[in-house]
Structure 1
Amino acid sequence: MGLKLSLFLAFVLFTGTLAVLSAEIDWVIHPSLRVAPASAEAPPRWDLIAGNAARHPGVATINYIARPHAGAFAARVAFQRADKSRGYLHVHPATGRVQGEQGFVDAQRVLRNLHRHLNLPVKYGVPIVGSLAILLLISLATSFVVYRKWWRGFFRPIRWHDARTAWGDFHRLAGVWSLWFVALIALTGLWYLVEQLGGDAPNLPEPPAIAAPPTTMADATGAAHALPASLAAVRRADPALRIEMIQFPDKTSGAFTFQGQRGAWLVRPRANAVWADAATARVEMISDGHDLNVHQRISEMADPLHFGSFAGYWTRIPWFLFGLAMTGLALSGAAIYSHRIAHGARVAAAASPVWNGLWRGMGQWRWLSLALIATGAAMIVRMFVEG
């Protein structure tokens, strides 16, 4: 099965690898997302960011403000126009100056959606992609049988005698160093599959419904004007919260929701939240990641572990490199098979016979792989149209 689905598996692994650094890809694409690190060392000025974003031409409502991704990044403001179309503003975190605007569809959204569910409806796409986790776990288990005394292979160099030997040595070398990572990605991927098939964790705690804000606060200007009072109240009530995102009131809730980190290990920002009534600036509820049950805690840990986002670049760069190694394992395993077929047929181990052997070895499964990849790519166009 690793051979039959090697093309599709490599595609999913590679898009996930790129997704780890998707914010950096956006940083390269959009100059307005960049700031000088020395100018943004202080905590974000949420009030200035909100006020200037609200006054930006075309902004009708603000959905949320996200803290800068890293030191050289601007803050991002998700907004909606009067015609209901969506976009992002890039705002300097210290001065509040709006540096630029971009559409709602960016590298982060494209790569995450492509990797997670192939841009298909989630109820179909997640099980398709998540089922590969079962294949990864089987490959992990059988690797200990195929590669006997594997612990001796950590420092065994690649022999460049011929293509077949080189591919084999690379496969074993990358495999032994990636054992822990393959297990991690397989287990978190399996968890996503379990969640989608009905094993999702109970909802995180939320306060009772807070009445929608008055009309004066329903638009971006009114909400931005109300933010400083709520922000001050939250800082008094929960000074330890490192705010990473502020969700603004909408038609169904009149609360500002402040999400971030407070010390609970390996949880998404939403696990630590404070709700403040936008009309009164009264703190209605505080939730803490330490208070989650085991099921909820596992659910919150999945994303940070899967994408390596829990320790900044100290984890994201190794995750990216090991992701490339896993992609290489999917391709090198198939190449080893193709070289073996070419050798058995007494064909020279050139590139064309190798990939011809791979193509033949995949059988009819190649059309399924190509169809899934093509569908995910084609749905990107739909994302831009609807975005």
Structure 2
Amino acid sequence: MPHITNILGNDATNDIATKTSARKKKKLTAHRAAYLVHSFVGLKLSLIFSIVLITGTIAVFAEEIDWLTYSEIRVTPEGSKLNEGELFDRLQAEMPDSGFSGMVTSSDRTRTAAYAFVTMADGSAKKVWINPYTGAINGITDNLTVGSFFSALHYSLFMPLIGRALVNGFGVLCLIGLISGLISYRRFWREFFTLPRWNAKLRVLLGDLHKFLGLWSLWFVLIIGVSGSWWFYQTPLVEYNLAPQFLPDRVIDPALTTEDLNKLGTSIPTPLSSAEIIAAVKKHDPDFHINYLQPPQHNGMAYMLYGTKHDLLVDKYASRYFVHPYTAAIVGHRLAGDTPIVQRIDMSMGPLHYGTWGYEGISDFLVKLVWFIFGTAMSVLSISGMIIFYKRTQSATKKLLPEAGIKQKAHKAWLVIRPWGGPMSAFKYLNWFFIAVIGYGISISFNVQNEGVSGSGYKYTEQQIGPWKISLNATLGVLEKEFDPIQPGVLTTLNAFIAEGNPQAIKFMYVNPRKPRTTRAPGSVIHGVTGSLHAHMPVPDKLKENATLWLTIEDWEGTFYQASWPLLPDGEQTIDMR
């Protein structure tokens, strides 16, 4: 056999030796494996990852952004604040045809108005702002303000069904990226004070900046990664029975007993004012700072007051008191200081993740400022990593391009859309798909905010039931209102609209996808406030074509009324509005 140099020539032999040597240099070591994992995690969903990081960073100052944006939120201190309950009572008296689901007291803020979540008569969702010093209504804003928009975008990406689970998944990716980055960066502990080379080429500068910010953000990335991973375990793993639950079982909220309700008699009872409820709790526990009021959403519920006793690393709504709405008796409480250690750790995840553990004043601002700075650093890490990868491949890509002209432009376009190669390869399609779904979810959210859920899903036409005229509509969820609402084995939302009759005369109202066998268990209870009465009803695993939806009403005299509709659309009584 002739010698290889005689066949290929010396130049070819040198090329083969060089390539062989290069392959030997690129053998899979722990450092290289970690680098590949780090690159994969940071690049494949980089567009969505960047959106989550940037919106989370902005959302740190969501409250302050709204304060600067809306004049309705700003107030000037004028003596002492009014009782929080009195503010809520005034709002309800001023807007009797609207439904108030709760009020944020802003008791920890000196220049911020209190605000209530309200469903207007037309079904739209708003926030009503009230001056805590004078009791005057400052104005009404959309429920989805600028600040809350960024918070919601970070929290769920406005994605129907999967948004929260996807965002939580990025917490896992943060942890993987952190660990793989440290392994791939040899002797990283020596480089904390190595400053970026500001006069170098862009790729070198970005590489130095990426390492510098990554090292100084280690603690912050760890917090975000651990908290996000903790939530990922809960949603979707525990939620969809993919992993066992290690948190204590949820305890049912203290409520009014049958005996409590029977003592109220057979006439329509009058609940106490919110001011009287607040006074009773402050007398019982003077150290309890009340930050949120939630009146009962059906007659079996207690009045709930959310607040804090300034426990470490829990948010300002972590503790609760449950109050009898007709007698002001304390029927139960859940205080953060009394919770088991595992549950306390779970409660700390939110404040640690969002930087809300400073409570009020300068401490609150400083904590948020630190979280904003390092959130910005994480955003730069994501974006710079993507740019670095592009820069590294840019020169190689140019060599593949033909000369200038139509062919070059066509080739560039092909390199962008082809399902392989590039930092994201086929994952680019997934990124684009998610962005399209985010846009769709945002449009639905604004639509629901302005119009409510009526006119969507399945409409169960108006019927006379005793002294009331009531219609229903079914939606899979707020962001899922265009999906089929009745699916076997899936929880659906039934919304009730009372067109005629006194809602206060209804003691309980229930919905059931089967005819109730007894009035003791008539179905899922409808709860909420005017304009937002709803029930979360489980749909049977097997549906019959002639399945019916039953509505049961019990009044204060103990009389029951029932009506039914076809569960699935028939074009007459039940109409598909999608």
TM-score, normalised with respect to structure 2: 0.60
Q: Rate the CA distance shift 1:328–1:204 in 2: closer, same or farther, 3 A.
A: farther
Q: Kindly state the Cα deviation for residue 118 of structure 1 after the two structures are TM-superposed.
A: 1.8
- Name the structure 1 match of 2:128: 89
- Aligned match of 1:186 in 225, 231, 234? 225
Give me the whole-angstrom Cα distance separating, in 1, the residues matched to 2:207 and 2:377.
Answer: 14
Partner of 2:297: 250
1: CA distance, partners of 2:137 / 2:375? 35
Whether the aligned pair in 2 keeps the contact of 1:45 and 1:95 (CA below 8 Å) is no
Distance 1:47 1:18 in 2: 32
Tell me what 2:200 maps to: 161
1:375 to 426, 432, 437: 437
Corresponding position of 2:319: 272
The structural deviation recorded for 1:252 is 4.1
Distance 1:205 1:314, change over 3 A: farther
Structure 2 Cα separation of the partners of residues 325 and 253 of structure 1 = 49
Partners of 1:189 and 1:234 in 2: CA distance: 35
1:78-112 Cα deviation digits (max 9, x unpaired): 12334543321111112111101112222344223
Distance 2:246 2:132 in 1: 36
Q: Give, in whole Å, the separation in 1 of the partners of 2:97 and 2:140.
A: 11
The counterpart of 1:152, out of the listed 158, 180, 190, is 190
> Secondary structure of the equivalent of 1:361?
coil
Give the Cα separation in 1 of the matches to 2:334 and 2:383.
Answer: 45
Moved more, 245-254 or 373-382: 245-254
Maintained 8 Å contact 2:66/2:147:
yes
Pair 1:337 & 2:399 matched: no
Alignment match of 2:177 (pick from 124, 133, 139): 139
Residues 244, 236 of structure 1: CA spacing in aligned structure 2 closer, same or farther, 3 A cutoff? same
Change over 3 Å in CA distance of 1:262–1:152 after alignment to 2: same
Shift of 1:206: 2.5
Displacement, 1:287? 2.0
Q: Is the 8 A contact 1:204 1:296 kept in 2?
A: no
CA separation of 1:372/1:54 partners in 2, compared to 1, >3 Å: closer, same or farther?
Answer: same
8 Å contact 1:92–1:98 — kept in the other structure? yes
Q: Map Cα deviations across residues 193-234 of structure 1 (whole Å, 9 max, x no partner).
A: 1111214743256213366798565xxxxx6x6122221111
CA–CA distance in structure 1, aligned partners of residues 59 and 300 of structure 2: 32
Q: What is the alpha-carbon distance in structure 1 between the residues aligned to residue 57 and residue 447 of structure 2?
A: 26
Following TM superposition, the consecutive aligned residue runs of length 4 or more in structure 1 with deviations greater than 4 angstroms are: 210-217, 343-347, 356-359
- How big is the alpha-carbon RMSD for the aligned residues of Structure 1 and Structure 2? 2.7
Q: Distance in 2 between matches of 1:256 and 1:281?
A: 9
Among residues 337, 351, 366, which one is paired with 1:290 in the alignment? 337
Supply the distance in 2 between the matched residues of 1:157 and 1:252 (Cα, whole angstroms).
64
For structure 2, the 5+ residue unaligned runs are: 1-39, 239-244, 359-363, 400-411, 450-578
Offset at residue 67 of structure 1 (A): 2.4
Give the Cα–Cα distance (whole angstroms) in 1 for the partners of residues 307 and 426 of structure 2. Answer: 48
User: Are positions 1:76 and 2:76 aligned together?
Assistant: no
- 2:275 paired residue number: 228
Q: Does 1:386 align with 2:426?
A: no
Do 2:291 and 2:316's aligned partners in 1 also have CA atoms closer than 8 Å?
A: yes
Residue 125 (structure 1) aligned with residue 163 (structure 2)? yes
Give CA-to-partner distance per residue, 1:251-302, whole Å, 9 cap, x none. 2445321111114322234431111112111121222112212332222111
Which stretch shows the higher mean deviation, 147-156 or 134-143?
147-156
Closer, same or farther in 2 for the Cα pair 1:341/1:35, shift >3 Å?
same
- 1:192-231 to structure 2, matched below 5 A, reads 192-196=231-235, 197-198=237-238, 199=245, 201=247, 202-203=249-250, 206-209=253-256, 215=268, 217=270, 226-231=273-278
Question: 1:185–1:215: structure 2 CA closer, same or farther, 3 Å change rule?
Answer: farther
Counterparts of 2:251 and 2:81, CA distance in 1: 27
| Aligned match of 1:350 | none
Matched-pair contact (CA < 8 Å) for 1:341–1:357: no
Counterpart Cα distance in 2 of 1:184 and 1:276 = 36
Which range is displaced more, 329-338 or 1-10?
1-10
Query: Alpha-carbon deviation of 1:39?
Result: 3.6
Matches within 5 A, 1:357-372: 360-372=422-434
CA contact (8 A) 2:58 2:372 kept: yes
CA distance in 2, matches of 1:117, 1:251: 28
Alpha-carbon distance, 1:337 to partner: 1.3
CA separation in 1, counterparts of 2:118 and 2:78? Answer: 25
The one of 55, 67, 71 equivalent to 1:31 is 71
User: What's the secondary structure of 1:275's corresponding residue?
Assistant: strand
Letter in 1 for 2:177: S
Secondary structure (helix, strand or coil) at the match of 1:375 reads: helix
| Residue ranges of structure 1 left out of the alignment (5+ in a row) | 218-222, 348-352
Name the SS of the counterpart of 1:362 in structure 2: coil
- Are residues 232 and 58 of structure 1, via their aligned partners in 2, closer, same or farther at CA, if it must alter by over 3 Å? closer
> How much has 1:345 moved relative to structure 2?
5.6
- Cα deviation, residue 148, structure 1: 2.3
CA pair 144-154 structure 1, distance change in 2 beyond 3 A: same
Preserved CA contact (<8 Å) 2:295 2:304: yes
Residues in 1 aligned to 2:246 and 2:73: alpha-carbon distance in whole angstroms: 35
Task: Confirm or deny: 8 A CA contact 1:63 1:78 kept in the other structure.
Answer: yes
Aligned to 2:12: none
Superposed CA deviations along residues 298-351 of structure 1, whole A, max 9, x for unmatched, are 22111111100010212111111111110110011111111222245678xxxx
Distance change (3 Å), C-alpha of 1:44 and 1:324: farther
Q: Which amino acid aligns with 1:237?
A: H
Task: Determine which structure has more spread, i.e. the larger CA radius of gyration.
Answer: 2
**1:33 to 1:86, Cα distance in 2 relative to 1, 3 A:** same
Cα deviation, 1:159-184, whole Å, max 9, x if unaligned, reads: 12210111011111111111011111
Change in 2 beyond 3 A, CA 1:99/1:239: same
Are the aligned partners of 1:23 and 1:107 in contact in 2 as well (CA < 8 Å)? no
Report the more deviating stretch, 289-298 or 166-175: 289-298
Partner in structure 2 of residue 325 of structure 1: 377
Separation of aligned partners in 1, 2:109 and 2:176: 37
After superposition, the Cα gap between the structure-2 partners of 1:147 and 1:20, relative to the gap in structure 1 and judged at 3 Å, is same
CA distance in 2, matches of 1:376, 1:320: 24
